[in-house]
């Protein structure tokens, strides 16, 4: 299976989101090519629509996005590994997402969801998975915009895994909780390979908070207070 992982994290190999994605891939028992958008020269979409009216789906810009767009076309499955930034996508990755305009056509239709769509990958013909993580305690109300965007771009049945409370993966004392979440993601990868979807039971585990929301907020606030205190106590004008 030709799988392409688009890593939208600026943290590269240290990314929690990428760690979750690799766990999902392990559950699939597959390998994949990983493209990190932070390392690429990707210009913003110009909205010139040349790809729609002149070049038959080819973007006229000459930058690193062209190779990635061709890889997306050739891949059997695309996994967007995207950390949640301001309830959406990191800007360098968003530039690539905007450039996927060339996969669609200018003609529109009304889908079964009652919304307008362009002919192209919006019909779900390109198998797509979104794996995202964020430091907020809830999936609902925080990942909605990102999920809406991905499902509108690549089909309403696009598989999504949104991990709230991702900061717990940074703490060794929470390993007993995070290991259960990783087991669920690994199981999700296995299910996706076999059926093309994640079961409702597994999805429920992935969508549920690992610890109660109030406790997560309390612990997070304490942690940031401690960080601020340490920074405040750093002597100024130190000579190096």
Q: What is the pLDDT along the chain (240 residues), one digit of tens a residue?
A: 899 999 999 998 899 999 999 999 999 999 999 999 999 999 999 999 999 999 999 999 999 999 999 999 999 999 999 999 999 999 999 999 999 999 999 999 998 889 899 999 999 999 999 999 999 999 999 999 999 999 999 999 999 999 999 999 988 888 888 999 999 999 999 999 999 999 999 999 999 999 999 999 998 888 888 888 877 765 555 544
Residues 104, 118: Cα–Cα separation, whole Å: 6
Class of domain 3-211: alpha beta
Model confidence pTM above 0.75: yes
DSSP-assigned states of every residue in the chain = --EEEEE--TTGGG-HHHHHHHHHHHHHT---EEEEGGGS--PPP----HHHHTSSS-----STHHHHHHHHHH-SEEEEEEE-BTTB--HHHHHHHHHGGGGS-S-EEE-TTSSEEESSGGGS-SEEEEEEE-SSS-STTTSHHHHHHHHHHH-TT-EEEEES-GGGGG-GGGHHHHHHHHHHHHHHHHHHHHHSS--HHHHHHHHS-SS-HHHHHHHHHHHHHHHHHHHHTSPSS---
């Amino acid at each position: 299976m030709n799988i392409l992982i688009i890593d939208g994290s600026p943290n590269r190999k240290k990314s929690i989101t990428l760690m979750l994605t690799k766990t999902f891939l392990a559950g699939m028992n597959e390998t994949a090519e990983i493209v990190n958008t932070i390392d690429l020269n990707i210009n913003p979409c110009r909205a010139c629509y040349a790809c729609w009216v002149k070049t038959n789906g080819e973007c006229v810009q000459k930058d690193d996005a062209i190779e990635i767009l061709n890889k997306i076309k050739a891949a059997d499955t695309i996994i967007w590994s995207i950390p949640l930034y301001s309830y959406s996508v990191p800007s360098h990755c968003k530039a690539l997402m905007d450039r996927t305009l060339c996969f669609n056509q200018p003609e529109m239709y009304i889908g079964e969801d009652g919304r307008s769509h362009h002919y192209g990958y919006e019909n779900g013909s390109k198998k797509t998975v979104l794996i995202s993580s964020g430091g907020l305690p809830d999936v609902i109300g925080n990942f909605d915009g990102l999920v809406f965007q991905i499902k509108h771009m690549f089909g309403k049945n696009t598989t999504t895994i949104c991990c709230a409370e991702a900061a717990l993966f940074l703490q060794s004392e929470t390993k007993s909780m995070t290991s259960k979440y990783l087991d669920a993601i690994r199981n999700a990868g296995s299910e996706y390979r076999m059926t093309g979807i994640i079961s409702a039971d597994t999805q429920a585990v992935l969508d549920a908070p690992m610890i109660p929301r109030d406790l997560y907020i309390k612990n997070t606030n304490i942690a940031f207070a401690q960080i601020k205190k340490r920074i405040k106590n750093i002597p100024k004008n130190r000579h190096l």
